[in-house]
Amino acid sequence: MLYKLAFKLIFSNMDPEKAHHFGMFVIQTASKLRLTKLLPKIRTHKVHAFGFEFDGAFGLAAGFDKNASAVKALGELGFSHIEIGTVTAIAQPGNPSPRLFRLFQDRALINRMGFNNDGAEAVSHRLRKLRAENKSLPVIGVNIGKSKVVELENAADDYRTSAKLLAPFADYLAVNVSSPNTPGLRDLQSVKSLKPILEAVIDESLGKPVLVKIAPDLANEDIIAIADLSKQLGLAGVIATNTTIGRSGLHETASRIEEIGNGGLSGAPLNNRSLEVLNLLRKELDSSSLIISVGGVETKEQVQERLKAGANLVQGYTGFVYIGPLWARKLNRI
């Protein structure tokens, strides 16, 4: 109730990206002051995946903590795992602002951030320090993407650089070839282009689990092809799905959508397609391949629906913006 009031009075009137930075500051400060330690313990269903025991199935998707600056604090808020990033080998500022937009009626976001991040070397140093200082951390996934200045034909080497720097401090690696905000990136989802990238990351993974994150906009036959490639290369699994470039079925006015322009849509409107992709993947992948289901999840019932459909873990991001800091605790609580 308090968060809804604060969102209505403060955050809804603030530039979305500034609101995000302010929210991150509040979360970090609450952790430093040990306020998050005052939250009562919750009982969770333990989930085993990647050789780890997770405190619940629900974690934070990539995009919220791009630079591993609030991992411990976010874990204290109840996320069983934090996927940081997307991190690129070369630090980059991302696309020009404004680049993050709220669709209140749809409980959705549109972003064209463009992989703004501090770069793999800086993030690796931050993770090294985090690992050295903290005994109690959530499971940490590291999501890596292509540097914008690197040509598509050199993408495998670019991903290799990131994997080599970040694998020592990751619990798992996620290969992002599905963001719509880096020119040409989604072209790398074709099996021909994707295979050398995944092989390069596997080579540098130090045996850590490697997953590939795919877009909801892929044709079903392309999803099946990626599932087959995942089995062929021995990937740990697939993360499905990223944001969509689609705009169908929205309540927001057409003029507002046109005004916003390009970007990836996340949030409640993705629920149906994300579930469809999950069902398709689970038919193609046996139980040895993990699936992390992401897209449109807001409620505990939706988490359970994804798990019953064959997901091993579930992630969210946009619901955090609209529902508030205790969201993950609600979804992971027994």
Q: Is the pLDDT of residue 38 over 70?
A: yes
Q: Tell me the domains of the chain and their CATH numbers.
A: 2-332 (3.20.20.70)
- CB 73, CB 130: distance < 8 Å: no
pLDDT score recorded for residue 160: 98
Residue 316 backbone phi and psi in degrees, to 5 = -150, 170
pLDDT score recorded for residue 13: 80
pLDDT tens, 68-119?
Answer: 999 999 999 999 999 999 999 999 999 999 999 999 999 999 999 999 999 9
pLDDT score recorded for residue 218: 96
Q: Is the pLDDT of residue 9 over 90?
A: no
Strand partners, 292: 239, 313
- H/E stretch holding 76 reads helix 71-76
**Phi-psi region at 116: left, alpha or beta (left = phi > 0; alpha = psi -120 to 50):** beta
CA dist 25 → 149, 241, 272 (Å): 30, 28, 33
pLDDT score recorded for residue 11: 66
DSSP E strands, the chain:
46-49, 52-55, 58-60, 81-88, 100-103, 108-111, 139-145, 172-176, 210-214, 237-240, 264-267, 290-294, 313-316
Contacts of 81 (CB under 8 A, 6+ apart): 54, 59, 60, 138, 139, 140, 141, 171, 313, 315
Is 0.85 surpassed by the pTM of this model? yes
Instruction: Return mean pLDDT, the chain.
Output: 95
Neighbouring CB atoms inside 10 A of 272's CB total: 13
Confidence of residue 12 (pLDDT cuts 50, 70, 90): confident
Give just the sign of the alpha carbon dihedral 202, 223, 303, 86. Answer: positive
Confidence of residue 305 (pLDDT cuts 50, 70, 90): very high
Q: Which one of the listed residues 179, 266, 274, 289 is annotated catalytic?
A: 179
The rounded distance, in Å, linking the Cα atoms of 170 and 167 is 5
- H/E stretch holding 7 reads helix 2-9
Q: Is the pLDDT of residue 225 over 70?
A: yes
pLDDT score recorded for residue 39: 92
- CB 55, CB 329: distance < 8 Å: no
Confidence of residue 5 (pLDDT cuts 50, 70, 90): low
DSSP E strands, 104-197:
108-111, 139-145, 172-176
pLDDT score recorded for residue 37: 87
Residue 221 backbone phi and psi in degrees, to 5 = -65, -30
Over the range 308-325, which residues count as b (16 or more CB within 10 Å of their CB) and which as e?
eebbbbbbbbbbbbbbbb
**Residue 31 designated active-site:** no
Strands 108-111 and 264-267, bridge-based pairing: antiparallel
The rounded distance, in Å, linking the Cα atoms of 2 and 100 is 24
Taking residues 151-164, report their average pLDDT: 97
Q: Is the pLDDT of residue 1 over 60?
A: no
**What does DSSP assign to residue 206?**
T
